[in-house]
Structure 1
């Protein structure tokens, strides 16, 4: 059975979305992507059954595996208003698009788009023990569909103050979430008090498990050590099964029955390999219904034990590798105070059961404290209260709002590739006044998913919304979209045909019902996002210019004018933005001269880029150098070989101390004029052989430049390093920084190297005046002879004596940016 999201399914979804009315009396329930009738959606469903208006509604359950859920579908077959639909089927997308009420304990697929008057209740699947959301190691990427769903939800259930804080801070919903939190205990815990043992005997019997009614049930509930995209460790599986065996050997089997309810990932492995089948509770059986008939719970910090505290029955903890487990878990909670004894030894665990050690007063005190913390509302009818709020309009004064008075700003940062635009954005985010502004950064994973580290590097005070899924329209809409993206809005007919409803829907798909005060297309190069932001509904829309775009439009790589079509489309969106913002005054003047028209002339303005001072200082404090046999090397890359634990390094040889070192940094593309720089350096070598040139960066001309270096026999004097993690440690070793570009915007590299007080040579590109300071640079023309003369002067002892305060510069530049937001 496949859960792959096909283009056909996405198209069906949007057709139902657009062409079919909302069915106000339809309710769609989904738990864990169709696992079955479990968790909080099941608790809400059971609560709905008790309502007098239950029969007035049609209830649709999402099921992934109908065979595994056969007994449940048969259980409700007599109710003609309860239906079951297969996950990712046409029926599924039909009801997802048209049901008046949507219930989910995780998230709907990336193509899901909220629609007006459709009520979405997200009933998150528990109180976490280990870190989730943006607190995870790769939280900026891994949370992308979860956050998208939260922003689309009208209500999110929060069972206690801790979970309210999780939604507010850990998922960063404060200030951006337009819905309301419902403060009630988890609806699934209602099942602890309404489930009958005889019912569970029959349910388990349907799966071939015999529940012995006269015995005390010990339920072992191990969590999954691995994250959801990882396979379970076979060592852990064997450990779980071994515990079951020991418990049965050492306990009185006439008094106790031992069963295991593993995490879904573990269960799938056990089921596939046919391990412990008569003792393993299927994933399709609700955990809380099992807890209702459990006499002793054994856990390993599975957060399900929080639910069990409501029963007042004993809970024990078995963690044989406790220290390592705590380290791997990255927990929110201390393992020091637990509501029951903790063991590393299975023998001591069984001894505890025999001696009832959990009755010790210390454990009882913690037990009651945690019970009160877990469920402060003390409500055994939480599901009913949720429906009273949503359907009957009662208890509205108990709802929690996460809104605040900060201005909400959305900034598009693309894939945060390693270039000057990205560094400008990252620096701006460091400078932002987060007391005044709520800042979201829209990031995009690249095609190979290799830019996760850059996405994670964004200032944690900002919220990263990593794009997931793609724009989804009908065939007719996508045909119009393709034309607009290719040709832009440069004609009256194009503007007239701009698919505003498609882009508005896409904005809703990505950001739910969130309303931003200001949207910023910070890259200035994206036709899609440039068009999308026009439909954002934001009060202020701005688009950035980081370069001399008239010249950039003409830039050719390997004979192809690769940016002309893209930039022409971007330029066509300018009349519909409120501000067109250049990265410096001279860039603004140049772009205004070459790109403005009667609709845009008054929209041109500028705000200089800031740059990260801490990034430079932190970099130079590190020591990425290595001495081997009295020879110094710079460590370009290093990684540990998993097979033999050896560290593999890529090293760059450093010159002797009597050599002059020139260094440049930038993309290896035509506008950077590296070809003429290499020709000039070749001539310099003849007069000053003790010179070295480092070229930092990567790009489409790398192979051409390598060939040029070989042709001139400069392999031991000119080095292409590629992109390196710590360029400033190497730059600090240089005698001169040189930038010979044909054109630039506001080259951040010049500002950055000024922090290191290094002499600077720059070419006479049009916008250079924005980075020139008194006695701060030697200016040359762009031809090889002029570049050579400049480098020669540096070799002869010409020194740039300048004063530069990076702090004062950043403060002034940031105020220019903030002025645009007023």
Structure 2
């Protein structure tokens, strides 16, 4: 539901900037999309406000609480006499949050509710910003600001790329790259967090591994006072039950289940034990007054609570690492261990090696509590090893070291920066819809030289195409633009005019807005080359050309783009006007280059006065032959009528849209069936002409001889099972589908147009005139020749080697 709402908003914003006057489109965009509104506020404050040199801002858990490292650092800094000149802004979910009530009237403390205009104003004017989760994606980091990132745990459960979900990294990756300082709990967490989020190759900030600030709260707390605050009587034992949250990107409501478990554990323990629940901050929104009766007050930080706890009962939460500083028993309660492990793709550590018993039921938990001395003895060695490995530097002084480092520039030997020796590349493959551009990019990403390059891939945050996003080579770092661009009113007006009319010069574009929007994702990162591998949208073309810092910028043309503009892509008019801001323009075949020289280049010179022909070259698409052939061995889905050896079977695959001219193929196939009854045609794909094509098939009385199949994640078994691949397009750049068919040794029949011509003109397939009669004649000839075709062999591996070499030399390095 949330993803659908975001997509609807995205479409609305695009319609507003394309069709409405800016004076109407801008306020409507602010009204419809809260992230556009917040982005606009951030841009406006950046334009109008100076940084306040004595202002420090804090945010915890995306504003759900004020806790952990940010809270610990605030408590330390507010009491330091040498920093008494500083003012402190705390982002909170409510101005009545119990933890900040003692500071509400403090002369140097300002409380702001997260996501409000006041929050954004202070975020854009503070000099220091301390955060333990991620900075809001609409915020713009400004020159002169110092961002301190502390994360919030030592890692146990797998995250992001390591669990096959790179989109979950989108906010943390940006935060790590933008951070001036990363305060990490230990080297183990540093390495895993940077690797699982792809941030390491692009992180230039300083990393500190000298103890965790929030653990100071546990080590230095007055345990007796906290127990007294919780209402425990003298000698009463405190059991803290702290399960982690359940769900994927959004938590599910487990409050009732957790409270039931708490009550059952309480009932299993004798008098003298008190069980309280510490819910994860992700679950806070589900809590009510009745639930809070069994929780510690919100005025008590989790790490202060750990100081008072006699026992910790948890599951897969990293909270247990912090608790090890107490030396007291930790007990693991994991009744859903296998299910949770499947959902998270496993754990970073073997659960059997943890420093406490792993219990499947509450009876075992209660028994472990009541026999804690034996438990402590049994796990003493593991406990000591974990403390040495993960808490070696926690001595209660981490806050002081952090403040001295960040605010006082005091040298600290336990800090370092990651050395970078490889060139940095940026690719933008677009939304990764199911098409040839996506297939080609996935193959390209698998062929890049990761010993020579650090590769960043920028994607729009489109939940519809996660299957393709997950298929990007894991050695690449994936970044997402998850919120709208940041425009002031005047910048929006300039941008909207560009979308409608194109750009005559840099002066008519909101370049600062493009830089701010890209800077929210790649703050401070300089690329060797930036490659717009998509090339269909004007906003993306402008941002990649003018908003990214790169020594070399190129854009791809995946089709005969002027004909594409005429048929269905009118926005290409504005895209063409950005070509002068790129260093090179790459078509995907030699004859596609020829078509664009006489089409797009002539049009662009006539419309904008830009001679882009000298910038043009070509670099063929890549494929992954090994993957194509291995995946072709999988079984066809049972829902698809299997091709029979007794019938001639043809297939085509692609987007169902006008330029593909599937209507021509259906008309041709009617002629084929009239001559060769029993033949079958498979049409694979989705698109806006699907309904029309189905109606046409019915009117042509093709019945069961034509099978329409929606998008297939793996179409190669059908390629393998069919006799011949047919392409009926009016325009193409370089059709990946023909390359896939040739890789599987399949005969190919195609209209003789730019793209297919380049691949088949040497005799690798049959080229025919762009008519139903010509297609039908070739298909009938194929059947009459025993479903065979005289053709030249195609070497997919030699093709890939040649294409990859050309791409590296011409696209990435700019060699002639």
Q: How does the TM-score come out when normalised to structure 1? A: 0.89
**Equivalent residue for 1:386, pick from 394, 402, 405:** 402
1:159 equivalent in structure 2 = 185
Q: State which of 155, 160, 163 in structure 2 corresponds to 1:136.
A: 163
Q: 2:72 aligns with which of 43, 48, 51?
A: 43
Q: Which residue pairs with 1:305 in the alignment? A: 320
Distance 1:794 1:343, change over 3 A: closer
Which 10-residue stretch deviates more, 57-66 or 237-246?
A: 237-246
In structure 1, C-alpha distance between the alignment counterparts of 2:807 and 2:636, rounded to whole Å: 35
| Structure with greater helix percent | 2
Matches within 5 A, 1:248-263: 250-253=269-272, 256-263=273-280
Does structure 1 retain, via aligned residues, the 8 Å contact 2:636–2:642? no
Counterpart Cα distance in 1 of 2:701 and 2:403: 78
Residue aligned with 1:387, SS: helix
User: Per-residue deviation at 1:475?
Assistant: 1.0
- Does the 8 A contact of 2:58 with 2:70 survive in 1? yes
- Paired with 1:322 and 1:445, the residues of 2 have a C-alpha distance of 31
Q: Is the 8 A contact 2:64 2:93 kept in 1?
A: yes
Corresponding position: 1:425 with 2:441: yes
Change (3 A) 1:80 1:802: same
Q: Secondary structure of 2:201's match?
A: coil
2:232 corresponding residue in structure 1: 211
- Matched-pair contact (CA < 8 Å) for 1:314–1:358: no
After superposition, the Cα gap between the structure-2 partners of 1:343 and 1:742, relative to the gap in structure 1 and judged at 3 Å, is closer
Q: 1:607 to 1:362 in 2, by over 3 A?
A: same
Query: Which of 513, 521, 524 is 2:524 aligned to?
Result: 513
Report deviation, 1:10: 3.8
Moved more, 326-335 or 105-114: 326-335
CA contact (8 A) 2:36 2:486 kept: no
Query: Counterparts of 2:427 and 2:219 in 1: how far apart (Å)?
Result: 48
In the alignment, what sits opposite 1:573? 578
Tell me the residue number matched to 2:16.
none
Distance 2:451 2:690 in 1: 44
SS in 2 for 1:428: helix
Does residue 724 of the first structure (1) align with residue 712 of the second (2)?
Answer: yes
Partner of residue 497 from structure 2, selected from 468, 478, 483: 483
For residue 367 of structure 1, what is the aligned residue in structure 2?
Answer: 383
1:612-645 CA deviation, whole Å, 9 max, x = no partner?
Answer: 21332232211125xxxxxxxxx3xxxxxxxxxx
Q: Following superposition of structure 1 onto structure 2, how do residues 489-504 of structure 1 map, counting pairs within 5 Å?
A: 489=503, 491-492=504-505, 495-504=506-515
Name the counterpart of 2:790: 800
Please, what is the CA RMSD of the aligned residues? Answer: 2.2
Q: Which residue of 1 aligns with 2:559?
A: 547
Which deviates the most, 278-287 or 577-586? 278-287
Task: Select which of 251, 260, 267 maps to 1:246.
Answer: 267
Q: How many residues align?
A: 769
Give the one of 130, 141, 144 matched to 1:117.
144
Q: What is the CA–CA distance in structure 2 between the aligned matches of 1:356 and 1:786, rounded to whole Å?
A: 84
Post-superposition shift, 1:588? 1.4
1:465 and 2:479 aligned: yes
Task: Supply the distance in 2 between the matched residues of 1:680 and 1:339 (Cα, whole angstroms).
Answer: 71
**2:680 maps to 1:695:** no
Contact 1:507/1:532 (<8 A) preserved: yes
Q: What aligned pairs does 1:624-703 form with structure 2 within 5 A after superposition?
A: 624=636, 635=638, 651-654=639-642, 656-703=644-691
Whether the aligned pair in 1 keeps the contact of 2:238 and 2:308 (CA below 8 Å) is yes
Matches within 5 A, 1:44-443: 44-67=73-96, 69-70=97-98, 72-77=99-104, 79-138=106-165, 140-197=166-223, 199-200=225-226, 204=229, 209-227=230-248, 229-233=250-254, 236-247=257-268, 250-253=269-272, 256-269=273-286, 271-272=287-288, 274-275=290-291, 277-329=292-344, 330-358=346-374, 361-395=377-411, 398-443=414-459
For the residue of structure 1 that corresponds to 2:124, the secondary structure is helix
Shift of 1:89: 2.1
Q: State the SS of the aligned residue for 2:200.
A: coil
The residue number in structure 1 matching 2:13 is: none
Would you say the 8 A contact 1:29–1:104 is kept in 2? yes
Distance 1:734 1:355 in 2: 68
Following superposition, the deviation at residue 370 of structure 1 comes to 0.2
User: Partners in 1 of 2:357 and 2:754 — Cα distance?
Assistant: 73
CA distance in 2, matches of 1:393, 1:158: 18
More displaced 10-residue stretch of structure 1: 73-82 or 434-443: 73-82
Moved more, 468-477 or 12-21: 12-21
Which residue of structure 2 lines up, in the alignment, with residue 18 of structure 1? 47
Which whole-Å deviations, capped at 9, do the CAs of 1:57-102 have from their partners, x for residues lacking one?
00111111233x24x3342246311221122222211111101100
Q: CA deviation at 1:360?
A: 5.0
- Say if 1:781 and 1:606 are closer, same or farther in 2 by CA, change over 3 A: same
Question: Would the aligned equivalents of 1:543 and 1:579 in 2 still touch at CA under 8 Å?
Answer: yes
- 1:628 maps to which residue? none
Separation of aligned partners in 2, 1:263 and 1:282: 14
> 1:679-709 CA distances to partner (integer Å, 9 max, x unpaired)?
2221222221122222222222222222221
In the alignment, which residue of structure 1 is the partner of 2:8?
none
Contact 1:760 1:800 in 2 (8 A): no
Q: Name the counterpart of 1:454.
A: 468
Q: Decide whether aligned partners of structure 1 residues 751 and 342 sit closer, same or farther in structure 2, where only a CA change above 3 A counts.
A: closer
Identify which range, 349-358 or 774-783, moves more after superposition: 349-358
Unaligned runs of 5+ in 2: 1-32
Q: Cα distance, 1:40 vs. partner? A: 0.4
Cα distance change on mapping 1:191 and 1:734 into 2, 3 Å: same
* Residue matched to 2:4: none
> In structure 1, how many angstroms separate the alpha carbons of the residues matched to 2:183 and 2:502?
44
* Gap change, CA 1:470 and 1:184, over 3 Å in 2: same
Q: What SS does structure 2 have at the residue aligned with 1:390?
A: helix
Name the CA distance, whole Å, in 1 between partners of 2:294 and 2:692.
66
Q: Cα gap change, 1:738/1:461 in structure 2, threshold over 3 Å: closer, same or farther?
A: same
Aligned residue for 1:411, secondary structure, equals strand
Q: Is the 8 A contact 1:113 1:505 kept in 2?
A: yes
Separation in structure 2 between the aligned mates of residue 599 and residue 774 of structure 1, nearest angstrom = 33
Contact 2:39 2:484 in 1 (8 A): no
Give the one of 702, 707, 711 matched to 2:695: 707
Q: 1:713 to 1:196 in 2, by over 3 A?
A: same
User: Which ranges of structure 1 fall in alignment gaps of 5 or more residues?
Assistant: 556-561, 626-634, 636-650
Distance across 2 between alignment mates of 1:484 and 1:389: 46
Q: State the shift of 1:544 in Å.
A: 0.2
State the 1:31 CA deviation: 1.0
Mapped to 2, the partners of 1:116 and 1:399 lie a distance apart of 23
* Partner Cα distance (1:723, 1:359) in 2: 56
Q: Tell me, in whole angstroms, the C-alpha distance in 2 between the residues paired with 1:784 and 1:322.
A: 60
CA distance in 2, matches of 1:317, 1:742: 63
8 Å contact 2:329–2:376 — kept in the other structure?
A: no
Q: Deviations over 1:182-210 (max 9, x none)?
A: 222210001123222465357x4xxxx52
CA distance in 1, matches of 2:184, 2:121: 29
| Deviations 1:13-39 (CA, angstroms, capped at 9, x unpaired) | 322221111011100111113344310
Q: 1:770 aligned to 2:758?
A: yes
Task: After superposing the two structures, state which structure 1 stretch, 588-597 or 736-745, moved more.
Answer: 588-597
Which of residues 604, 612, 623 in structure 1 aligns to 2:624? Answer: 612
Q: CA shift at 1:259, angstroms?
A: 2.5
Instruction: Name 1:647's counterpart in structure 2.
Output: none
Q: Could you say what secondary structure the match of 2:61 adopts?
A: coil
Instruction: Return closer, same or farther for 1:791/1:326 CA change in 2, 3 Å cut-off.
Output: closer
Deviation at 1:457, TM superposition (A): 1.8
In the aligned structure 2, how far is the partner of 1:754 from the partner of 1:769? 14
Aligned 8 A contact 1:60 1:82 in 2: yes
Question: Aligned equivalents of 1:104 and 1:462: distance in 2?
Answer: 26
